[in-house]
Structures are given as C-alpha cells and as structure tokens.
C-alpha cells in the first residue's frame, strides 16, 4: 500500500520535472535564436561584411561562424562582433580567408543593410533641409536607393533649390543627387510637415536646439570631421573650436553652422587648421 501511494507522487514529480526541462530548453532556444539574429544583423549592416555569405549558429553561449572573406581583418571583425553580443562566451571562427574571393554580384533587389543605409540617408537629408535657413520656402520629397538620392517637390527660388541639392550631396553615404525640384509656389509636403510637427512639440530655436542641429549637421556631412569640432551657442551666436584638416573643411564647417535656422553669426576664431 505504501509503494502504491508513493508511485503516483513520483510520476507527478517526474512529469513536472519534464515540463520544467522542456521550458528551460525552449527558453535557451529563444535566447540562442536572438543571439544569432543579432550577430547576423550586425554583419548585414557592416559595409565590410555584408557582401560575404557568412553564417552563424549559437549553442550554449558558443557562436560558430562559417563562410568566406577576402582578408584576415574581415575574419577578425566577424569574431569581435560575435563576442560583443551579450551571452556569447566563446567563438569558433571557421570563416575561411581567400585572397581572390569575389562576393556574389549584387542583385536588383537591395539587401537588408542597403535598405537601412538608404533609410538613414533619407532621414539625414530631410533633417538638413528642415534645419536650413536657406530652404524655408522648400517643399520636398527625398528618396534614396543605394546611395543615390532623388529630390522632388518645389522651391520658391533657384537658390533654395540649389542649396537642397548641395546639402543632399554633402550627406554621408550619398554617391549622387538627382535634383528634380522645380521652382514654383510651395505646397504643403514632407518638409513642411516635419517643420510643423517640430513646432507643435514645442521645439523652438533655442541656443540648445541650435547647438544640437549644428553638431548633427556635421555628423551627417561627408566632408567635415565632427569629432574634432566643439560647438556652443549663446544668444544665437555659434562658437566653433578645435582643429580641422584644411582651409576647405574649416570654411565648410562655418558655412554649415551659419546655414542653420536661428543662427545670428558664427565665431570660428578658435577653429584652427
């Protein structure tokens, strides 16, 4: 009788334990899938790795990498990215280095990384058009495909239209600009809508706002090294300090700052070459 009473209890305990083990296993599989996705996504976003057919599998905190790259630097980069993911304690780097390796030719359809790059460029160009004092009469649309920007819409002057093209071309990652903006009376559109949205949120052109936009414009720009330029604003007067590589970069930094809405003047005496 005693054994008969104990047996069902043991069965229930084993059943409960089985469910717990199954739940733990399922949880581990979810974590591993998330880690694999995070590593692969970073590869897809990296301009140095996206063209290579790299594969990732994760088990018990160990990432196994396979595929082919052209240089040791790319192989090491793939390993460091995997080690940077939370929970990855070990990397089995089976990626082969083949100096004459040629990645697969690009297809007509953009890859994940390219789409993210294009979306980032579009957002940067739109922002620069909104912040610029010389594009206030502009109503524009911005489309990007593989670094090629197409501008559409209307401008109230040739100067505004040309400035839009210049700001787009000077954006990091842009390879060319097709400026289809026509000179005509502006109609409400994307750029006007963004501006109104910012004003509705109480985004006024304070000194802090100006400083943030100048810094962001430098960061988006392909011809200005923003890391070595300090920006501060007092009563609409922007002060620049630091070092730049040459006179052309210094002149561009001053021009970009002066072009931001709300800026009264730019003091660049402490911006040296």
Answer for the pair 88, 63: CB distance below 8 angstroms, yes or no. yes
The domain 204-272 is placed in CATH, from the list 3.30.1340, 1.10.1740, 1.20.950, 1.10.1200, at 3.30.1340
Please say whether the beta carbons of 46 and 113 come within 8 A.
Answer: yes
pLDDT in tens, the chain (273 residues): 555 555 665 555 656 666 565 566 668 889 999 999 999 999 988 888 888 889 999 999 999 999 999 899 999 999 999 999 999 999 999 999 998 888 776 677 888 888 989 999 999 999 999 999 888 778 889 999 999 999 999 998 999 999 999 999 999 999 999 999 999 865 555 454 444 344 433 345 799 999 999 999 999 998 888 778 999 999 999 999 999 989 999 999 999 999 999 999 999 999 998
Q: What pLDDT does residue 134 have?
A: 87
Residue ranges, CATH 3.30.1340.30, the chain:
23-97
CA distances from 230 to 204, 252, 264 (A): 22, 15, 18
The Cα–Cα gap between 130 and 138 comes to 9
Cβ-contact 160, 135 below 8 angstroms: yes
CATH fold for domain 23-97: 3.30.1340
- State how far the Cα of 269 lies from the Cα of 239, in Å rounded to an integer: 8
Topology, domain 112-198: GMP Synthetase; Chain A, domain 3 (3.30.300)
Where in the chain are all domains bearing CATH 3.30.300? Answer: 112-198
Q: Which helix (H) or strand (E) element contains residue 31?
A: helix 2-45
Alpha carbons 240 and 246: distance in angstroms, whole number: 15
3-state SS of 59-119 is: ECCEEEEECEECCHHHHHHHHHHHHCCCCCCEEEECCEECCCCCCCCCCCCCCHHHHHHHH
| CB of 238 closer than 8 Å to CB of 218 | no
Nearest to 227 by CA among 213, 238, 215, 236: 215
Closest CA to 222 of 268, 273, 172: 172
Q: Are β-strands 237-243 and 229-234 bridged in parallel, bridged antiparallel, or unpaired?
A: antiparallel
For 191, residues 6+ apart whose C-beta sits below 8 A from its C-beta are 126, 129, 130, 135, 138, 139, 140, 153
pLDDT tens-digit map of 55-85: 999 999 999 999 999 899 999 999 999 999 9
* Neighbouring-strand partners of residue 140: 153
Q: Is the dihedral of CA 197, 206, 254, 232 positive or negative?
A: negative
């Amino acid at each position: 009788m005693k054994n008969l009473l104990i047996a069902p209890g043991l069965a229930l305990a084993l059943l409960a334990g089985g469910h717990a083990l199954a739940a733990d296993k399922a949880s581990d599989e979810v974590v591993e899938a998330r880690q694999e996705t995070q590593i692969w996504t970073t590869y897809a976003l990296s301009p140095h790795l996206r063209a290579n057919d790299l594969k990732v599998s994760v088990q018990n905190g160990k990432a196994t990498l396979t595929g082919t790259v052209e240089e040791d630097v790319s192989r090491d980069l793939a390993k460091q990215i995997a080690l940077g993911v939370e929970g990855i304690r070990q990397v089995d780097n089976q990626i082969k280095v083949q100096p004459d390796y040629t990645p697969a030719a690009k297809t007509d359809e953009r890859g994940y990384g390219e789409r993210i790059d294009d979306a980032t460029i579009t957002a940067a160009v739109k922002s620069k058009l909104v912040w610029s004092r010389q594009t206030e009469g502009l109503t524009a649309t911005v489309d990007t495909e593989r670094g090629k920007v197409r501008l559409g819409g209307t401008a109230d002057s040739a100067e505004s239209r040309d400035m839009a093209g210049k700001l787009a071309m000077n954006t990091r990652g842009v390879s060319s600009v097709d400026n289809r903006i026509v000179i005509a009376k502006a109609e409400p559109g994307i750029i006007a809508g963004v501006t109104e949205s910012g004003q509705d949120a109480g985004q006024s052109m304070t000194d802090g706002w100006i400083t943030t936009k100048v810094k962001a414009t430098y960061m988006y720009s392909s011809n200005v090294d923003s890391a070595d330029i300090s920006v501060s604003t007092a009563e609409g007067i922007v002060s620049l300090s630091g070092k730049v590589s040459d006179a052309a970069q210094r002149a561009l930094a001053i021009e970009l700052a002066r072009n931001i809405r709300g800026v009264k003047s730019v003091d660049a005496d402490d911006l040296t070459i």
